[in-house]
Structure 1
Amino acid sequence: MLIICIITTTKKYFQRKANIIYIVSNQHIIVVFSSAKTLQISYIGMQTQEVAIKPNLRVVLKSDAQLIDEVVVTGYGVTKKAAFTGSAQTVDNKDLMKKTDANFMKSLEGSVAGLQVNSLTGQPGAYASTTIRGVGSMNSGTEPLYVIDGIAIYTDKMGAYNKAGTGDMAASPMANINPNDIESITVLKDATATAIYGARAANGVIVVTTKKGSLGKARFNVNAKVGTSFVGKIDHNYRTTNLDKYKEIWTEGLTNAGYDGEDGMTSAEWLNAYVMDWYNVDLTQNIKSVDWLKEILQNGFSQEYDISAQGGNENLRYYISGGYFQNTGIVIGTGMKRYSGRISLDGKSGRIGYGLSVNGALSDINNTMTESQYTNPIVAVYDIRPFEQVRNEDGTYNTNVNYNPVAINDKEKGDKRNQKQITLVVNPYFTYNIIDGLTWKTNAGLSLIDLDEFFYSSIYNPQYSGSGML
């Protein structure tokens, strides 16, 4: 669309204030310029132009190509949001890149109305439960359907993969997608999604569109992110007790129970006798107070590096990328590494069009028990006394501590809970332009996910050490 504005520099249209001249045309466009030699003309949705001042001006404003309508990607193609009758919301790459997480779904938190993402464990690459407009079923699946470049990604009713049968080992296929390769995400929320994708879309659809090649010379992009994470301030009511507080609580309890003066012993002596009998520890000695919660926590570290090349001509466009992501969790023994790559080719020859996109990724995840068992380090630390030491005097782990979480989660000698997940999504297509405005297109896809889990129980884990479970 063009807007033609003819401005004649006559006294009728001039109003001078200091060094500023204001001109108003019949189209009600306000032009502001200095009393120097140039005139700047601007209008919403149009490109700003700067021209030299002369008695008669004819200015043609061109549409700003960067200001386009928001589009919605559906199963049938792309449409303007203004013309889309269903309920949908689009998130572009800029919003995704503002946050750093292995699972791009967590980046949608707070960005899409009605979308709720709950992280069950918080471990790097862990499965995150997703619901759109609340839970729609009590005994059936509640996860939305994920569609990547037109290919539906298989997930079970929990939206994750798991061979071990424990929730903490649930792997998320979405954690294997590099957010840097995503162009936009469209969340379809209502019955329109069911009409397009069928019954599988009853809980909504999350349509992921990845980046493709563009016209012009090759453009190279390099992104690097480095960050850290840590546990915020924990209310003292939820922290583990130090040794002084432990003695105070126990002696007060023994006094209230009538032990003070019993058999000529004070409450403190009763406590020391109990600890000597059960733990072989003399509280009258200089005993180090152990903060077990602090022992299992650490500062997390994340780093992400991406490189991509994008370009092409009228006949062939390409996009090639590679990425590396590494995240160390805030609980000892947890972390994730991801290697990803993508190739996208789009060609055209006369009325024939063709293309191929390949997304591949390998993730290596180390996690720990998160269910309500003593092998869960967060559970274990609240059942260990502050006078119990992490290690013996010779440096070996203290096996007298029941479910010693530091020993169990030792990278070299402790339990091993590892997952290796390979994800491959291949999407070739072919188009033929029958007549102007009518195109025939074939679209095929392959989604391959391979999951390898390794679960090893060490001698420090009393729950499995005698069971032979490896």
Structure 2
Amino acid sequence: MNKFSFYKGGSAFWYLILFGFSLSYTPALAHKLLRPMQSVWQQSQISGTITDGTSPVAGVTISIKGSASSGTISDFNGRYTLAASPDAVLVFSFMGFITVTEPINGRKTINIQLQEDATQLQEVKINAGYYSVKESERTGSIAKITAAAIEKQPVNNMLAAMQGRMAGVNVTQTTGIAGGGFDIQIRGQNSLRAGGNEPLYLVDGVPFASDIIGYSNTTGVLPRSASPLSIISPTEIESIEILKDADATAIYGSRGANGVVLITTKKGKQGKTKYTANVSRGNGTVTRFMDLMDTQQYLDMRKEAFANDGITTLPTSAYDVNGTWSPTRYTDWQKELTGGTSELTDLQASVTGGSQRNQFYLGANYHTETTVFPGDFIFNRASVRGNFSHTSEDDRFRADFSVGYTQQGNDLPATDLTRDSRILAPNAPALYDAQGKLNWENGSWSNPLRLLYASYLAKSQSLIANSQLSYQIVEGLEFRTAFGFTDLRHNERRTNPSTLNNPSLGFGSSYSSLYRNTNNRQSYSVEPQLNFNRQWSDSKVAVLAGGTFQQQEGNQLILFADGFTSNSLLNTLAAASAVYVVADDASQYKYQAFFARANYTYKERYIVNLTGRRDGSSRFGPGKQFAYFGAVGAAWLFSREAFFATSSILSFGKLRASYGTTGSDQIGDYQFLDTYSTTSNGYQGSTGMQPTRLFNPDFGWETNRKLEIALETGFLKDRIFLTAAWYSNRSSNQLVGIPLPGSTGFTSIQANLDATVANSGTELSLRTVNLQKKDFSWTTDFNISFMKNKLVSFPNLAASTYRNQFVIGNPINIKLLYHYTGVNPATGAYTFEDVNGDGVLTAEQDKKTVADFNPSFYGGLQNQLRYQRLRLDFLFQFVKQQNYSSDYFFSRPGLLSNQPVSVADRWQQAGDATLYQMYSTNSNSDAGKAFNNFQASDGVVTDASYIRLKNVSLSYELPQNWTGQLQCRLYVEGQNLLTFTPYKGTDPEFKTTGFLPPLRMLSAGLQLTF
């Protein structure tokens, strides 16, 4: 045999190896040597679902610890499958979430719930309008909330979801009735005009006009009309970004003076088709009732008032004390008229999914909400939204189409019963008689339920559609075009039937009346853009250039009809004896602009951002229609410098600053033109015309100059993250009505006033990761904003009609009041400071005390806690401010009107030192005249600061080994739960007289995903 055959023969070689093992065989050695081969032989399929506690997470990387294999990625449903040995360890990683390591331990199914990693939030991209930017690299001031925060709040308006969550953004509610409005101020008030401080709203890039769509005589129960923003369902929103400083807003030019609100709706995502259903039920109640007099306290007050006035024989109209009404009867009218329960229902369903090239989303929402008033009144909103995205095979072409349609109905009483509930005498008669009919008590009172016969009905339809087409011409150069369309149709009516009146007065249907308001608004917009991005060596450049072309058309018709033949025909104009056209307006607004942005980044730590825009608006006269706006922003990421690279404390540091100009054309259409209207004073049977506005060709833009300096710092791997910003804004060239001499036939002319309003302040935001473990985590977010508003200049203010409204050096949201000096212990009447010492109290000379109703500071404190599948979120909102006290809303103590129990501390005899003056029913007495001055003094201004438990959300996700492929989440949510305040009225936030304040809302729901 050839001596090399042993080595050439494979079998001989293995025989020799086995012979060697047989000489030194031990069981432990065999197990050690054969274990790798057993792991391969025993590998099995491991599968599961990955969620964030509320929904599946797609794109999660799953790998085997210590293995070089590529692993796998979770699909759109959060599902994954991979082969691994029973004793391997899986690693789950995804940007923005904590990496999870999970031993297999022989299991076949492993479901993972990821937790947000607050230390990675700097890498998340945020929407800046025409472009997106990493949180760590933005040079502007942008605040953001996501669907995760919005969906935890039982609210019907997206603005309510923003309260207390954003620094520099102050949102107040104007009514507790569904469909009502909100006031929003982003870094204060810039315009002297109340209607000139609204921000710009964009829904998926499409401008959405927030102008009031109602009419004062038809809105009825809703102060300041119905809110157009209530048409947008909060459940449709993916995120809301607020652009605040010049760097962020200047690219929107004249429309960004008061900030920009970017609303992004939900979109489709890659993965298997996912179905989601959500149902919740809840209720709302008044948060707090006022402490009012009971029957005995009230009657004592009334009798004492008559005695103080020297009246011994009670008048026949004093039904409450002259024996007509029972002196032992008591009704808590607050509970009777506003103590009901508002019921709310939310139904949501969506389907989403798609491939790498095509994604889709289709969602539907239905919301209903009743009122706390007696009767069957309801607000309802139904909406449907669809989105489709396509990317070409070569990744160069992309198309996005989105459309949303909403139909909203508001069937409400025409009058808010809140004021009646507070002023009705506690011994007033019963609401119903023995036959169950409205009780008029022989004509001795006006039954408050009569107001429910009048109705307010509003119906709105809204369509918002947009498409974005983009094409990559060459690498780094992309052309994009956005098309937008909005259509808003609003119809409302208010009926006033004759049954509102006491039957004993004999008013028939001819005294019935009807108001109708029809308001339609359509808008078209086109925005072509060119984007260039290039990176080489240490430099990165991004250039954007584009244009905006928008046209908005509106039509409004307001009718008034009376003299109806029957109340059953009250909604039929043909049944009226007279129909009057209150307004018949058609308007057209055209807007065009060209904008550009250039961003340069050097070594990923030095950033300069330049923006500019040339705007044109049809709201200004010839030669004034165009204006230029621009800004520069810069940032230095000093934590990326070499001398901070080894720091174990500072993990992130950025210093940024910006300066620029924005503008405003929020003045309405045709304000620079001379306009005419019809007059009832005709000539020989012909309708006459009269001038209503003077022509002003010099009518131009308001200008807002903004400066900001900010510091962003992260410590201990961003477990502590602090942002501090200081800003100073100055708004000039104010668009107001400038007073004219009466000899001109006009009181004012619309023009630019050389007045300047300044807003400055400091904003602090703090995020801390208190605990972050596998089963338990706790994060806290805190924000606080200090602000100061000031009228810097106003030429010839003392000689203008605004002299009793504004004071140079003070905020513009002020009231000039008498200075209250207490109750005269000798006479028992209120006293006030006589400023000029002439012995006479006059508004012109003695109203010199300034009451500032701007908040000194405001903010919020939010905590998010998680234990395994249980989540608890709660938010405290706080505001330091002044407001009118309850004394401002009530009539003079002693009249036929209930009062707070606090007025019992009144003057009764000479020498008394009391809070309130003597009771009186005589308006011509010293006490009567003093009371009128009292309500125009700082005596009715009080501390209205508060801390409110704004929102609580508790949710639990059922384990999937119980539910299989079905994900099930149970939750309970609350809004406006507790309020801590020294304020004695019903709600310290509320500044509107006689309307229902925000309600306490509680709801529970179930969410299913499969």
- Give the TM-score band, short-chain normalised: 0.7 to 0.9
Aligned to 1:381: 421
Aligned to 1:359: 404
Query: What is the SS of the residue equivalent to 1:168?
Result: coil
Q: 2:346, 2:368 within 8 Å by CA — same for their partners in 1?
A: yes
Deviations along 1:199-234, whole A, 9 cap, x unmatched?
111100010111111111111111122111112332
Query: What is the SS of the residue equivalent to 1:395?
Result: coil
Q: Report the more deviating stretch, 197-206 or 352-361.
A: 352-361
Output the amino acid matched with 1:469.
S
* 1:456–1:215 CA distance, 2 compared to 1 (3 A): same
Query: What is the SS of the residue equivalent to 2:223?
Result: helix
Aligned to 1:207: 262
Supply the distance in 2 between the matched residues of 1:220 and 1:196 (Cα, whole angstroms).
Answer: 39
Output the amino acid matched with 1:416.
S
Supply the distance in 2 between the matched residues of 1:458 and 1:47 (Cα, whole angstroms).
Answer: 67
Which one of 143, 149, 154 corresponds to residue 89 of structure 1?
Answer: 143
Supply the distance in 1 between the matched residues of 2:460 and 2:322 (Cα, whole angstroms).
Answer: 44
Q: Does 1:419 align with 2:458?
A: yes
Supply the distance in 1 between the matched residues of 2:404 and 2:356 (Cα, whole angstroms).
Answer: 24
Which one of 338, 358, 375 corresponds to residue 316 of structure 1?
Answer: 358
Query: What is the SS of the residue equivalent to 1:293?
Result: helix
* 1:458–1:402 CA distance, 2 compared to 1 (3 A): farther
Supply the distance in 2 between the matched residues of 1:383 and 1:96 (Cα, whole angstroms).
Answer: 38
* 1:115–1:46 CA distance, 2 compared to 1 (3 A): closer
Q: Does 1:444 align with 2:483?
A: yes
Q: CA RMSD in A?
A: 3.5
Q: Report the more deviating stretch, 444-453 or 379-388.
A: 379-388
Deviation, 1:436, is 2.7
* 1:390–1:38 CA distance, 2 compared to 1 (3 A): same
Supply the distance in 2 between the matched residues of 1:355 and 1:100 (Cα, whole angstroms).
Answer: 30
Supply the distance in 2 between the matched residues of 1:380 and 1:276 (Cα, whole angstroms).
Answer: 17
Q: 1:388, 1:401 within 8 Å by CA — same for their partners in 2?
A: no
Aligned to 1:469: 513
Aligned to 1:390: 431
Q: 2:343, 2:369 within 8 Å by CA — same for their partners in 1?
A: yes
> TM-score normalized by structure 1?
0.76
Q: Does 1:127 align with 2:181?
A: yes
Q: 2:92, 2:100 within 8 Å by CA — same for their partners in 1?
A: yes
Q: Which has the larger radius of gyration?
A: 2
Q: Does 1:197 align with 2:252?
A: yes
Q: 1:430, 1:443 within 8 Å by CA — same for their partners in 2?
A: yes
Query: What is the SS of the residue equivalent to 1:135?
Result: coil
- 1:29-44 aligned at under 5 Å gives the runs none
Supply the distance in 2 between the matched residues of 1:6 and 1:322 (Cα, whole angstroms).
Answer: 46
* 1:377–1:310 CA distance, 2 compared to 1 (3 A): same
Deviation, 1:344, is 0.3
Aligned to 1:242: 294
Deviation, 1:51, is 7.0
Supply the distance in 1 between the matched residues of 2:275 and 2:165 (Cα, whole angstroms).
Answer: 29
Query: What is the SS of the residue equivalent to 2:500?
Result: coil
* 1:376–1:180 CA distance, 2 compared to 1 (3 A): closer
Aligned to 2:198: 143
Query: What is the SS of the residue equivalent to 1:296?
Result: helix
Calculate percent identity across the aligned residue pairs: 26
Deviations along 1:332-380, whole A, 9 cap, x unmatched?
45531000110100112333322210011111113445xxxxx542223
Supply the distance in 2 between the matched residues of 1:282 and 1:48 (Cα, whole angstroms).
Answer: 74
Count residues with an aligned counterpart. 405
Q: Does 1:283 align with 2:326?
A: yes
Supply the distance in 2 between the matched residues of 1:379 and 1:80 (Cα, whole angstroms).
Answer: 50
Which one of 491, 494, 500 corresponds to residue 455 of structure 1?
Answer: 494
Deviations along 1:252-281, whole A, 9 cap, x unmatched?
44556667xx6xxxxxxx669775699882
Q: 1:275, 1:282 within 8 Å by CA — same for their partners in 2?
A: no
Supply the distance in 2 between the matched residues of 1:432 and 1:52 (Cα, whole angstroms).
Answer: 46
Deviation, 1:155, is 2.5
- 1:164-179 aligned at under 5 Å gives the runs 164-165=216-217, 168=223, 170-179=225-234
Supply the distance in 2 between the matched residues of 1:173 and 1:364 (Cα, whole angstroms).
Answer: 12
Output the amino acid matched with 2:188.
G
Aligned to 1:60: none
Output the amino acid matched with 1:337.
N
* 1:210–1:87 CA distance, 2 compared to 1 (3 A): same
Deviation, 1:326, is 0.8
Deviations along 1:409-452, whole A, 9 cap, x unmatched?
2xxxx111111111110112222221233221111010111101
Supply the distance in 2 between the matched residues of 1:278 and 1:456 (Cα, whole angstroms).
Answer: 35
Supply the distance in 1 between the matched residues of 2:275 and 2:485 (Cα, whole angstroms).
Answer: 28
Q: 1:243, 1:387 within 8 Å by CA — same for their partners in 2?
A: no
Which one of 272, 293, 314 corresponds to residue 334 of structure 2?
Answer: 293
Query: What is the SS of the residue equivalent to 1:247?
Result: helix
Residue ranges of structure 2 left out of the alignment (5+ in a row): 1-60, 68-86, 106-114, 515-1010
Aligned to 1:328: 370
Query: What is the SS of the residue equivalent to 2:438?
Result: coil
Bigger share in strand: 2
* 1:110–1:387 CA distance, 2 compared to 1 (3 A): same
Aligned to 1:22: none
Aligned to 2:448: 405
Q: 2:243, 2:249 within 8 Å by CA — same for their partners in 1?
A: no
Query: What is the SS of the residue equivalent to 1:226?
Result: strand
Supply the distance in 2 between the matched residues of 1:274 and 1:366 (Cα, whole angstroms).
Answer: 36
Supply the distance in 2 between the matched residues of 1:65 and 1:95 (Cα, whole angstroms).
Answer: 13
- 1:218-233 aligned at under 5 Å gives the runs 218-233=273-288
Query: What is the SS of the residue equivalent to 1:407?
Result: helix
* 1:253–1:164 CA distance, 2 compared to 1 (3 A): closer
Deviation, 1:290, is 2.5
Deviation, 1:299, is 1.3
Q: Does 1:307 align with 2:361?
A: no
Supply the distance in 2 between the matched residues of 1:401 and 1:295 (Cα, whole angstroms).
Answer: 20
Aligned to 1:338: 381
* 1:339–1:51 CA distance, 2 compared to 1 (3 A): closer
* 1:180–1:42 CA distance, 2 compared to 1 (3 A): closer
Output the amino acid matched with 1:292.
W
Aligned to 1:57: none
Output the amino acid matched with 1:453.
E
Query: What is the SS of the residue equivalent to 1:417?
Result: strand
Deviation, 1:455, is 0.7
Deviations along 1:104-161, whole A, 9 cap, x unmatched?
11110011111111211221021111110111111251111100101010122xxx32
Output the amino acid matched with 1:88.
I
Aligned to 2:169: 115
Deviations along 1:38-86, whole A, 9 cap, x unmatched?
7798999773445799xxxxxxxxxx99856232212222111211111
Deviation, 1:330, is 2.4
Aligned to 1:58: none
Supply the distance in 2 between the matched residues of 1:83 and 1:231 (Cα, whole angstroms).
Answer: 45
Q: 2:142, 2:248 within 8 Å by CA — same for their partners in 1?
A: no
Output the amino acid matched with 1:313.
S
Output the amino acid matched with 2:286.
V
Supply the distance in 2 between the matched residues of 1:45 and 1:449 (Cα, whole angstroms).
Answer: 41
* 1:86–1:294 CA distance, 2 compared to 1 (3 A): same
Query: What is the SS of the residue equivalent to 2:473?
Result: strand
Residue ranges of structure 1 left out of the alignment (5+ in a row): 8-36, 54-63, 263-269, 370-374
